[in-house]
Structure 1
Amino acid sequence: MAVGVLSLQGSFNEHIAALRKIGVKGVEIRKPEQLQNITALIIPGGESTTMAKLAEYHNLFPALRDFVKMGKPVWGTCAGLIFLANKAIGQKSGGQDLVGGLDCTVNRNFFGGQLQSFETELLVPEIAATEGGPSTFRGVFIRAPAVLEVGPEVQVLAYYSVPSNNSAESKSNSENQLETPVSKERVIVAIKQGNLLGTAFHPELTADTRWHSYFLKMAGVVTEQSSNSIIKEEYFSDNRQQKNDLPIFQW
């Protein structure tokens, strides 16, 4: 079963490579009729306004909304998360069309511009419980959004805690990430609602394919290559040898 990747702009090639790594075919999607041939869809990170203009040009929005309403699994990363949100703030003049479906409000450019891009370890207990591996995931945030509010049917999968000058307070916050509400010091960066998944960061830019495997299971696509042991061994071997950190975000 093929998984589609919206390929108008952004990191669609990286998603296709990640899918290939775990034995699943990724199909580039640029036209509405192509959605009829896939079982699930990934909307990648990129420049959300540009992606929206291209989607409008190709008349993709009605087909994308129908795809979501049919209950087919859709995962949005970074700009893709903005696409799937019911409401987005911090947009450019005139705003942009949204696909909608996720009962949440996102701030389109919460962390700032390109210079405020960063990497950090996120607590991901749901991913660890389902896919194995450690309780953390290396989140890559590039001109990233953040989720400010969620509805009652939305499951929060990861928070980001803003680093504190008080190391004891920071440690306490980190240990209780999924037990406290969103605030100025804590924002939501990964959510799930029914058939929809959204991450403010870019899992496709890491060697850790657990988020892709998690999404494939949402879509009912499980392959022998996506076993936990292969993912964990390959990722942590690569990660120990290659680590080029971006700055940690500060207020």
Structure 2
Amino acid sequence: MTAPVPPPGEASVTGEPTRRVTIGILALQGAFAEHSSLLSKLGADVREVRLPHEFEGLDGIVLPGGESTAMALIGERWGVFPRLKQWVSEGRPVWGTCAGMILLSDHALMQKKGGQSLVGGLNVEICRNYFGAQTSSFEVPLDTSALETGSVGKKDGGSANKNPYPAVFIRAPAVLEAGPGVDVLCKVRSRPCNKAVTVMKAQLKQEEADDRDDDTRRAKRRRLAAFFVEPNPSTAAVAGEGGGGGSGASSGEKEAPEVIVAIRKGNIVGTAFHPELTNDSRWHEYFVRIVKEAVSSGTGGVRDAESPAKTLGAAAAAEAEVAVA
């Protein structure tokens, strides 16, 4: 594990003072103000980002929770998504929470009709609204050992379990499969909501008819179908990995499936829950450490971002400026 970089103003391992990191918050829609407040308290310079040229000077960026479809539509229209895709492809630090995690995924299930644009970067299968609607929001204690050890499977005596993280889930997604190179940081046990079961059963059945001769796709469908076996009880218990609680299964009932709710791949972090809606700053501290380490290693920061006129074209840039105003 890389050693933490000292806070701004303190000496680094080379004896040189570290500079304050600058983190952008994608402010197209969603809970960007809450992220900004927490990151500012940790000593980061924070900027709201709505246009491509506003990436200039950033060391890291946060994609907040909100409505992923709305964020995608606005992001495409204002030319932000191409810049985000470039950012991710260059390995620069980015953190997506809830809707932001969906945008950073390569494959999303339960999309609205017509689909939506994704930034990509995380080779995972993610299911939108896995846990249900706004009224099905909940809080669950999560094991935080992975913030120090690097993955949920590497625990150091269980010490982190003594201080679980209060994870807030609101219309949250869940990662069903994580590909090579993706570190799993947190899991919970929970059944999908009734709507997800109904929609995914129909979708997987249709795909089976379309691709019955493709062995690879058929095997993948079987794995995904295991998450959508039966309707969800009206109130399902959710258990955070290492955090205690129920499994969502009553006596004699098949145990609820385990789904992934926090991941990392290189400098990309995704959380299905909303760390910005708590007073616990551990996840924000984790991302700030990643940004500092990236700056120290030379993989963070943009000092030569293209102008909006060059990226979008003069007409598109002018339209975006008017829309923001």
After TM superposition, is the score higher than 0.5?
yes
What pairs with 1:1-251 in structure 2 (closer than 5 Å)? 1-127=21-147, 134-162=162-190, 174=242, 184-220=256-292
Amino acid at match of 1:96: Q
CA distance in 1, matches of 2:40, 2:61: 15
Q: TM-score, normalised by structure 1?
A: 0.78
Report which stretch shifted further, 90-99 or 135-144: 135-144
**What's the C-alpha RMSD, in Å, of the aligned pairs?**
2.6
Do the aligned partners of residues 23 and 174 (structure 1) sit closer, same or farther apart at CA in structure 2, a change above 3 Å counting? closer
1:60 Cα deviation (Å)? Answer: 1.1
Do the aligned partners of residues 12 and 32 (structure 1) sit closer, same or farther apart at CA in structure 2, a change above 3 Å counting? same
Do the aligned partners of residues 193 and 129 (structure 1) sit closer, same or farther apart at CA in structure 2, a change above 3 Å counting? closer
1:109 Cα deviation (Å)? Answer: 1.1
Could you list the structure 1 runs, at least 4 aligned residues long, displaced by more than 6 angstroms after superposition.
Answer: none
1:184 Cα deviation (Å)? Answer: 4.6
The secondary structure found in structure 1 opposite 2:279 is: coil
CA contact (8 A) 2:142 2:243 kept: no
CA distance in 1, matches of 2:276, 2:145: 19
CA contact (8 A) 2:174 2:261 kept: yes
CA distance in 2, matches of 1:175, 1:8: 34
CA distance in 2, matches of 1:110, 1:162: 9
CA distance in 2, matches of 1:91, 1:124: 30
CA distance in 2, matches of 1:38, 1:55: 18
CA distance in 2, matches of 1:114, 1:50: 17
Amino acid at match of 2:53: E
CA contact (8 A) 2:189 2:256 kept: no
Do the aligned partners of residues 29 and 221 (structure 1) sit closer, same or farther apart at CA in structure 2, a change above 3 Å counting? farther
CA contact (8 A) 1:16 1:25 kept: no
Q: TM-score, normalised by structure 2?
A: 0.61
CA contact (8 A) 1:161 1:174 kept: no
- Partner deviation per Cα, 1:100-154 (whole Å, 9 max, x = no partner): 0011010011111111111111112122558x96452111000000001101211
Amino acid at match of 2:175: V
CA distance in 2, matches of 1:192, 1:108: 18
The secondary structure found in structure 2 opposite 1:220 is: helix
1:43 Cα deviation (Å)? Answer: 0.2
Unaligned runs of 5+ in 1: 178-182, 223-251
Amino acid at match of 1:29: V
The secondary structure found in structure 2 opposite 1:219 is: helix
Question: 1:245 is matched with which residue?
Answer: none
The secondary structure found in structure 2 opposite 1:192 is: strand
The secondary structure found in structure 2 opposite 1:37 is: coil
Higher strand share: 1
1:185 Cα deviation (Å)? Answer: 2.1
1:221 Cα deviation (Å)? Answer: 6.3
1:97 Cα deviation (Å)? Answer: 0.2
- Partner deviation per Cα, 1:25-49 (whole Å, 9 max, x = no partner): 2110000111122010000000111
Amino acid at match of 1:102: L
Q: Calculate percent identity across the aligned residue pairs.
A: 45
1:23 Cα deviation (Å)? Answer: 1.4
- Partner deviation per Cα, 1:7-30 (whole Å, 9 max, x = no partner): 001000000000011111211000
CA contact (8 A) 1:125 1:135 kept: no
CA distance in 2, matches of 1:148, 1:184: 13
The secondary structure found in structure 1 opposite 2:146 is: helix
